Amino acid sequence: MPVSTTPSPLHAESLQDDPRIIEAKRLIAAAVSDHAAKIDSVSPPQAERGEHYQSIIADYTRDRGAPPIWPYFSSGMGNGPYVELADGSVKLDFIGGIGVHGCGHSHPDMVAASVDAALEDTVMQGNLQQNVPSVQMLSRLTTLACESGAALAHAILSTSGAMANENALKLAFHHAQPASRVIAFDNAFAGRSIAMAAVTDRPAYRDGIPTAINVDYLPFLDPHDPAGSTKRATDTLKKLLARNPKQYAAFWAEPIAGEGGYYPGSHDFFAALCRPLRAAGIPIIFDEIQSFSRTSRPFAFQHYGLDEFADIVTIGKITQVCATLYRKEFHPTAPIISQTFTGSTAAIRAGLKTLDLLESSGCFGDEGGNARRHQYFAAAMEKLAQKHEGLIGGPYGEGMMMVFTPGDGSLEQAKMLMGLLFDVGLLGFLCGAAPTRIRFLPPPTITTNAHIDTAIELLDQGLTQMKAKLS
């Protein structure tokens, strides 16, 4: 008799196909959908929940040792870009945990991914146990990264953006040893670990922390003077390379300045820097923890046509699990990278679903959703700038990284407006310094022009209140 080549079902496969599980998933999806559908507009807090909500804030302040940045404590439910807080209010969430919630709140595919993860045998994946979705995530990311010519053959998963960036630096130092210095941009932000704080151009973030890495800085692209700022950056780079020959292990670059103020780069600007860096044999790291998925291509380095220069690339936030991607020649020859946890089972499954939705919802392309929504937002901001003269300044960011400068650009006025927007129901957050700006990171997979219209209406209200306070 012929030998069957069809394997017996795995117990995990049998569990997924169990009619009880299938029905339970259907019921959960229906219940979440029914309740989430009721959250469809901004609304104020419920007065009867005020005392309890204040107790939540007080408990947090006591246990954390400091008050929250703002009084945001979710009820655990939302609908698209709308989120319900534990005081009964509903906000239009255009910051998404600083770009983490790329599918908004209570998205049915995210709920389904979490349910599937709960059925798996462990909560976390790591170097000693990796379930099949971990392999799928690595494959998806490297395939996306290489689709227009980059040679990012390998990837490592990690639990945070800071850890992904740490791994990137370790790969660069290992490859370029004994070089020990790093070149970064003014206003760079790489994270808050000891090493990342050294790269980050914020002295307050290094207060009392010993210097772990010697970092030299270049000026970033000035949107008001692209040619002049490119020359200043390249001139500074030439001086650094001449002053410290063979001492640089990495060039660290955010293709779009993140915490520094959402200033876009360009192909010409980066190419002018990357060519001499490549000639000098200095590894080039693109930090896409915040920019991944928010431009015309999955990666901003692809958006700017910089594939040939990408040696190491980091991503995170919207992918739920973070990753460091790198060229084959950067694969370490010593055990310098290892983690007990590389990501939670739920995060990895949710990240895969997010990648699916980014593609299926048409986010990418020169005329894709990210580009079209940015144009729509920027046009609406121009109208608001004319109405509220002196209270809004551009440029307005890149793709689904939207930003403006409020008032005189001072921290005080930016914080004032951020608080007013919170009260009227719009969530945005600060970035940059001198000027301080307000940024929006709407969920790219589900944001519509109608959502942007609502955000503009709420921003109009906030600016009107700000004008009254300043007069």
pLDDT of residue 160: 96
Find the range with the poorest average confidence among 5-9, 17-21, 138-142, 412-416. 5-9
pLDDT in tens, 421-451: 999 999 999 999 999 999 999 999 999 999 9
| Residue 239, pLDDT above cutoff 90 | yes
Taking CA atoms, 134 is separated from 130, 278, 341, in Å, by 6, 32, 12
The architecture in CATH of the region 47-106+365-470 reads Alpha-Beta Complex (3.90)
Q: Among positive and negative, which fits the CA dihedral 15, 19, 23, 24?
A: negative
Helix (H) / strand (E) containing 77 = strand 74-79
| Residue 418, pLDDT above cutoff 90 | yes
Mean pLDDT of the chain: 96
Percent of the chain with pLDDT over 90: 97
Long-range pairs, 238-243, Cβ under 8 A, ≥24? 238/276, 240/183, 240/216, 241/276, 241/280
- Residue 178, preceding bond cis, omega within 30 degrees? yes
Percent of the chain with pLDDT over 70: 99
pLDDT of residue 108: 97
**Residue for token digits 């003269």?**
389
Please check whether the domain covering 118-360 is classified as CATH 3.40.640.10.
yes
- Edge-first strand order for the sheet with 426-427 is 74-79, 82-85, 90-93, 426-427
Find the range with the poorest average confidence among 194-208, 372-386, 400-414. 194-208
pLDDT in tens, 87-99: 999 999 999 999 9
| Residue 395, pLDDT above cutoff 90 | no
Q: What residue type is 57 in one-letter code?
A: I
pLDDT in tens, 149-206: 999 999 999 999 999 999 999 999 999 999 999 999 999 999 999 999 999 999 999 9
pLDDT of residue 4: 62
How much is the pTM?
0.96
Tell me the domain boundaries of the chain.
11-37, 47-106+365-470, 118-360
Average pLDDT over residues 105-127: 96
Instruction: Give the model's confidence band at 1: pLDDT under 50 very low, under 70 low, under 90 confident, else very high.
Output: low
| Residue 392, pLDDT above cutoff 90 | yes
pLDDT of residue 2: 58
Distance, in Å, from the CA atom of 180 to the CA atom of 201, rounded to the nearest integer, reads: 18
pLDDT of residue 5: 79
Distance, in Å, from the CA atom of 92 to the CA atom of 43, rounded to the nearest integer, reads: 10
What is the greatest pairwise CA distance in the chain?
92
Q: What residue type is 146 in one-letter code?
A: C
Average pLDDT over residues 209-237: 96
pLDDT in tens, 59-82: 999 999 999 999 999 999 999 999
pLDDT in tens, 335-378: 999 999 999 999 999 999 999 999 999 999 999 999 999 999 99
Query: Where in 267-330 does DSSP place strands (E)?
Result: 284-288, 312-315, 322-326
Average pLDDT over residues 215-227: 96
Q: What residue type is 167 in one-letter code?
A: N
**Residue spans of alpha helices (H) in 325-368:** 345-360
Q: How many CB atoms are closer than 10 A to CB 106?
A: 21
Q: Which of 118, 130, 133 is nearest to 15 (CA)?
A: 118
